[in-house]
Amino acid sequence: MSSRSKTIVQQNLDSLMDILSNVVAVMILIAVVIVLNMRTSELALATPIQSAAPPHAQRLVFLCKGDQIFQVNTAEIDAQIMRLQDKFRQRTGGLPSTRELRYLLDGNDVGDETFRVQLRTERGLQFVYTLRSSAPGESTATMMTGETSQFRHLLDQLDAERHWVYLAAQPSGWETMLAAKEMLQTRKIAMGWDAFPESNQVLMGDYGTVGDDKVDSASR
């Protein structure tokens, strides 16, 4: 082989190696981006479960917002919804459709002193629990130090085999969520939590528990 041919072959090999090096570098960069995106999605969407909930355990939901904690008393509010449906059935002979139930909840103030419930159907079936302006929340200081803490008293009554707690934390209630989480861990009560955008609503429905846009794996 002539020296000219050897030079051409060497140049081709060098070019090929440069191309392969560039391809490998691009593939590594893509892999890094994918991993970072996966981690970002994981941080944004995952619901950290501190301990597994016992089978058939009753879930208690709390909203942590503005240095206060508010209980979403789903059992009591669900009972009110059932009574509203029973009245509709007595009057019409059948249960209300989804649209009719939405009208019923819009036209009646159903809820307790902390939340009012309504129905949203734009993105599946979602019950909207709106925090009332006069809602009686409990401050973090009371929850942590006072014997008058209703949250502490409620936790003392829970059975770790029959209950688990879900904390919906908004930015203004982050420290409150951390304090509540520590109290639950001390009592070995199963729990889950997630962080949500600031709002006055907690949504529950087809996709579980969500703050404003996010989803929890536990269905209502």
If pLDDT is split at 50, 70 and 90, which confidence band does 157 have? very high
pTM score, two decimals? 0.69
Spell out the residues 6+ positions from residue 15 whose beta carbon is closer than 8 angstroms to its own: none
Question: In whole angstroms, what is the distance from residue 209 CA to residue 162 CA?
Answer: 20
Residues 195 and 174: beta-carbon distance below 8 Å: yes
If pLDDT is split at 50, 70 and 90, which confidence band does 190 have? very high
pLDDT digits (tens, 9 = 90+) for 8-57: 445 555 554 555 455 444 444 444 333 333 333 333 333 444 556 677 88
The count of residues in the chain is 220
Q: Which two tokens stand for residue 15?
A: 């070019």
pLDDT exceeds 90 at position 5 = no
Residue 151 has what pLDDT?
95
Give percent of the chain above pLDDT 70.
69
Residue 169 has what pLDDT?
92
Of the spans 45-49, 143-147, 186-190, which averages the highest pLDDT?
186-190
Residue 71 has what pLDDT?
95
What sign results for the dihedral spanned by CA atoms 200, 117, 75, 56? negative
pLDDT exceeds 70 at position 207 = no
Question: In whole angstroms, what is the distance from residue 183 CA to residue 119 CA?
Answer: 33
- Spatial CA neighbour of 162 closest among 133, 202, 189, 129: 189
Measure Cα distances from 57 to 54, 109, 191 in Å. Answer: 5, 29, 11
172-190: average pLDDT: 94
If pLDDT is split at 50, 70 and 90, which confidence band does 204 have? confident
208 vs 90, which has greater pLDDT?
90
pLDDT digits (tens, 9 = 90+) for 62-111: 999 999 999 999 999 999 999 999 999 999 999 999 999 999 999 999 99
Residue 8 has what pLDDT?
46
If pLDDT is split at 50, 70 and 90, which confidence band does 124 have? confident
Residue 22 has what pLDDT?
54
- Spatial CA neighbour of 169 closest among 41, 38, 69: 69
| Domain ranges for the chain | 1-45, 58-210
210 vs 91, which has greater pLDDT?
91
